[in-house]
Amino acid sequence: MTPRADCILDARARLGEAALWSQTEQRLWWTDISAGRLNRFDPASGTNESWDFPCPLGCFALRSRGGLVLALANGWHSFDPATGKTAFWSDPEPDRPGNRFNDGTTDPAGRFWAGTMPIEGARECAEGALYRLDTDRRTTRVMDGFFVQNGLAFSPDGRVMYVSDSHPDIRTVWAYDYDIDTGTPTGKRVFFDTRQVRGRPDGGTVDADGCYWMAGVSGWQLVRITPDGRVDCTIDMPVEKPTKIAFGGRDLRTLFVTSISENITPGTAERQPQAGGIFALDVGIPGLPSSSFWG
């Protein structure tokens, strides 16, 4: 597979992340975590709207009733893009003020999952955790001990949950059996050790065939992995640090990819002038529509 990655928005994002396609709006939502900025991009017109917040915005989900739920560094908030107003719900980590949210996704039953990581010292402190926000807005700490939580995704039938840790010494994607009725993951096992490819595991998603797509941050590539953990293909990217992948477009066959412009390898800037941009690839394989948060 050799699709070409085209830069469709030269965003120069410091830490572009959380690509999420709205099939209803035909828009790509994404965040620049370091800037605390939420974005909504229209690929048809090239227009990008943005909203700024006073702290890092790790991830978010679209709500079934309209608006979004935001995972800001100071907790869960609702957000209405029509008015620009937010409402604080709760902070799941009042005891960990040095953390922020990082990666997140919704499960097929409408729960929102999001993980945290230390803002500073992520390579030294395994103080990140994974949280489940239920539709009644109750929060449960489900897993603990992450350095850099990442890679959340669910299989097409919702029975497998994927999660990773991007730490250079770990760089592993795990799979869990997932109980859709209770929102409980069990049976942790290694799904993919990324030492066999370039890059560490960042954001992930799953296509209609059940294959897991991984953004290989610091590796200049994307990786498609079969359900049994084998590399199906790799796709070279024009940037060192692709971060999050989302299927979109009317037929869900376009792969949108966010990226990073800060902390790139010294001497590589000329090779990646569009670092921090949003990229699109026609991969010819359909993805799955994103689930909304039902709370």
Tell me how far apart the alpha carbons of residues 18 and 182 are, in angstroms, rounded to a whole number: 25
Give the start-to-end residue ranges of the domains of the chain: 6-282
Tell me, what DSSP letter sits at residue 196?
Answer: G
Please indicate if the annotation marks 39 as binding a ligand. Answer: no
Residue indicated by tokens 């065939």: 209
The amino acid occupying position 263 is N
pLDDT for 203 equals: 98
For the chain, how big is the Rg over CA atoms in Å? 17
pLDDT for 93 equals: 96
Tell me how far apart the alpha carbons of residues 211 and 234 are, in angstroms, rounded to a whole number: 13
Tell me, what DSSP letter sits at residue 270?
Answer: G
Using alpha carbons, list the distances in angstroms from residue 211 to 153, 255, 285, 286: 11, 14, 10, 11
**Token representation of residue 79:** 């957000």
Please indicate if the annotation marks 100 as binding a ligand. Answer: yes
Tell me how far apart the alpha carbons of residues 76 and 82 are, in angstroms, rounded to a whole number: 19
Q: Are strands 57-62 and 47-52 parallel, antiparallel or unpaired?
A: unpaired
Cβ atoms of residues 212 and 191 within 8 Å: yes
pLDDT tens, residue order, the chain (295 aa): 688 999 999 999 999 999 999 999 999 999 999 999 999 999 999 999 999 999 999 999 999 999 999 999 999 999 999 999 999 999 999 999 999 999 999 999 999 999 999 987 656 789 999 999 999 999 999 999 999 999 999 999 999 999 999 999 999 999 999 999 999 999 999 999 999 999 999 999 999 999 999 999 999 999 999 999 999 999 999 999 999 999 999 999 999 999 999 989 999 989 999 999 999 999 999 999 999 999 9
**Token representation of residue 89:** 């719900």
Tell me how far apart the alpha carbons of residues 128 and 149 are, in angstroms, rounded to a whole number: 7
pLDDT for 123 equals: 63
Please indicate if the annotation marks 102 as binding a ligand. Answer: yes
Please indicate if the annotation marks 150 as binding a ligand. Answer: yes
**Which of 245, 235, 171 lies closest to 18 in space, CA to CA?**
245
Just list the catalytic residues.
Answer: 202
Please indicate if the annotation marks 124 as binding a ligand. Answer: no
Instruction: Indicate the fold that domain 6-282 takes in CATH.
Output: Neuraminidase (2.120.10)
Tell me how far apart the alpha carbons of residues 80 and 87 are, in angstroms, rounded to a whole number: 9
Please indicate if the annotation marks 228 as binding a ligand. Answer: no
